[in-house]
Homo-oligomer: A and B are copies of this chain.
Amino acid sequence: MVDSEDRATAAATATRAAATPAAAATPATALAAERPAPDLYARMREAVLSLELAPGQRLSERGLEPQFGASRTPIRAALMRLESEGLVSRDPRGWTVAPIDLDELATLAEFREVLETAIVRLATERASDDDLAGVAELVMTLSSASSADDGLGTGTGFHRELASLSGNTFLATALEGVLTRLYRTRWLEVRSAESRERALHEHEAIANALRSRDPAGAELAVVQHLRATQQRLLESLNANRVGLRASGMTIAGDAR
């Protein structure tokens, strides 16, 4: 038997432009569909990271079609990719935006410490003097930018640069994954001027240890920075916890 819907939409199929889904013609309630659309995966990722798609929210492939102006096949592909990044999860029922899990954040912090201590140790061995001077400069650049843009990308840029200087792509990729999973906490956390100030000093301490090619010192500075950062995060989350729960986001686990 020939597809009945195929016949029904035959006219529309004949006239529609190349690879545009029928629904895209009227993206009335579109969320991220308004922009020129770089690529679907990036837009969906952005929607998750910006909390436009809330942690714990159920997603259906068909429901996402009109929102993102694409058909199920690419949406499904994007979901699978996001799943491999831990931003979305699949249960027998369907898809869910990964909840923010405080236990996971703790485990993640521990993992991150392992990665970053190794990263700075290798960086002291391998990076050129120019590279390390560049790191010190980067600290200043990002710190001045931080007053402007609220310090959003501040920390991660610095840490990404260190990872690159380690010369080990697996370390860099793993850290990238950690930063991705950590990203959404920035929206839940209150960042005071003084906490930014302290983070800046900690970055400087790391940069200095790197310049003097002191692996032990660099590892220590990194550990201190990461632990202080984690503590600031947890304090902030605990303070906001009641309000966060009320916002409809799923936040699981103990904040110890």
Q: Which residues of A contact B (CB under 8 A)?
A: 1-3, 6-7, 10, 13-14, 73, 76-77, 80-81, 84, 107-108, 110-111, 114-115, 118, 122, 168-171, 174, 178
Contacts and interface: CB of A to CB of B under 8 A. Distances in A.
Contacts of A10: 1-2
Contacts of A6: 2-3, 6
Nearest to A84: B84
Given A107-B168, A107-B169, 16 more contacts: A1-B13, A2-B7, A2-B10, A3-B6, A6-B6, A73-B73, A76-B77, A77-B77, A77-B80, A80-B80, A80-B81, A81-B84, A107-B170, A110-B170, A114-B171, A174-B174
Contacts of A174: 111, 174
Does more than half of chain A's interface fall in helix, strand or loop, or is it mixed?
A: helix
Contacts of A170: 107-108, 110-111, 178
Nearest to A181: B170
Contacts of A1: 10, 13-14
Count identical subunits in the complex.
Answer: 2
Contacts of A171: 111, 114
Nearest to A76: B77
Contacts of A110: 122, 168, 170
A118 B107 contact: no
A13 B111 CA distance: 51
11 contacts: A1-B13, A2-B7, A2-B10, A3-B6, A77-B77, A80-B81, A107-B169, A107-B170, A110-B122, A114-B171, A170-B178
Contacts of A168: 107, 110-111
A114 B111 contact: no
Contacts of A84: 81, 84
